Amino acid sequence: MTSIPAVHARHVTVFMKQYDFNKLRKRIRREAGKAIADFSMIEHGDKVMACLSGGADSYTMLDTLLYLQRVAPVEFELVAVNLDQKQPGFPAHVLPEYLQARNVEYRIVEEDTYSIVKEKIPAGKTTCSLCSRLRRGILYRTAQELGATKIALGHHREDILETLLLNMFFGGRLKAMPPKLITDDGKNIVIRPLAYCAEKDIKRYAEAMRFPIIPCNLCGAQDKLQRQAMKRLLQDWEAQYPGRVENMFRAVANISPSHLLDTNLYDFENVTVVAGQAVLDSEAEIN
């Protein structure tokens, strides 16, 4: 049997890698576009503030929004915003250089929240809660200053499921992370265009695109998060039972209030027999 010449073999390998990458990029763009449409995230004339942290998620979100801005049937503005929290070792030059190279309008907001958190939180305690509150407040204020009508965050499918599990196990609530919400002050609308996208796809895409990733562990608190435990739980489940994560995600969008126990969502008190006949539930019971 004649072997494939080495040069030809390399060309085949490159072609297959390009083919896989194109499929990956199309899938991410398709899922982001579907999420945006399903939840009416972006409307004609919107000014979207894309929050860019320097992680794979936010880079992928920005890259996808830039593409959709070119091809979508609605016109919208896009501005990237990064919050420099003055964490030691933060490479402040990386994001401006990247955004300038891509000709993206941007703003870098400098706020020393790192010192505030270190002052308020005792050593050894998790700083993420206070840090998140401070960061949200600054970003919401910045959106108002820029006249942004939407604030885009890079959370993906697994982020939503991790939040669901955190609220179940530690908060006693059946609550996930919404793809679109109005902030508590009623002044901003937050959207999550990557809500349908899988974390593994985003990581592969970021690697293929060679985004200049900024590590998320500069503060040293990440390993202590309960969220990491939920992430490992989902990964273990998916490894043992492929498809479980996808089914969990479908369940979040396929809720039957009559089969839960929240009296605020379903009027159990007035469930009754109508015209001498019981109304049977058409949904299959899972034993």
pLDDT one-digit tens code per residue, 31-83: 999 999 999 999 999 999 999 999 999 999 999 999 999 999 999 999 999 99
pTM for the full model? 0.85
Measured in degrees and rounded to the nearest 5, phi and psi for residue 267 equal -85, 75
Residue whose tokens read 């505030």: 116
CATH assignment of 6-259, among 3.40.50.300, 3.40.50.620, 3.40.640.10, 3.90.1150.10:
3.40.50.620
Structure tokens at 251: 């369940």
In the prediction, which pLDDT does 242 show? 94
Q: Are 66 and 78 in contact (CB under 8 A)?
A: yes
Q: What is the pLDDT of residues 116-168, one digit of tens each?
A: 777 666 666 666 676 778 888 899 999 999 999 999 999 999 999 999 999 99
